Amino acid sequence: MCATFETIAPSGMKMNYRVIEFDSDRSVKILLTNSRMFKRAVWQFRFDSEKDGTQISCHIYFTLRFQYLFLYPVLYFNRKALTRDLNFLKTALNNNYAL
């Protein structure tokens, strides 16, 4: 599988991704491509069936480029942006499947 997609942040910053692993019932791994800040960044989503739906867990594994190492504590401790983005995803999924 070689699906790719682009996201655009409210700031206008574009990020490109490639799906590198996909198991429709269990998980997906997505690689950030062509990043100036990250040497490597992978998002992993796992899907676990539950009584009333599906629990989705998200893990992010990243390595910053040397010149951006000073940002590590900022990225690690500032989870508000990530939580906001994941809540947008949750809302979109709930709205899409509430039909």
Domain borders along the chain are 4-97
Predicted model pTM: 0.73
The structure tokens listed for 26 are: 């269990």
The CA distance from 96 to 89, in Å, is: 10
Strands lying side by side in the sheet with 38-50:
4-8, 14-23, 27-33, 38-50, 53-64
Q: What is the mean predicted confidence (pLDDT) over 56-82?
A: 84
Give residue-wise pLDDT tens across range 16-51: 999 999 998 899 999 999 888 889 999 999 999 888
* 5 and 14 Cβ atoms separated by less than 8 Å: no
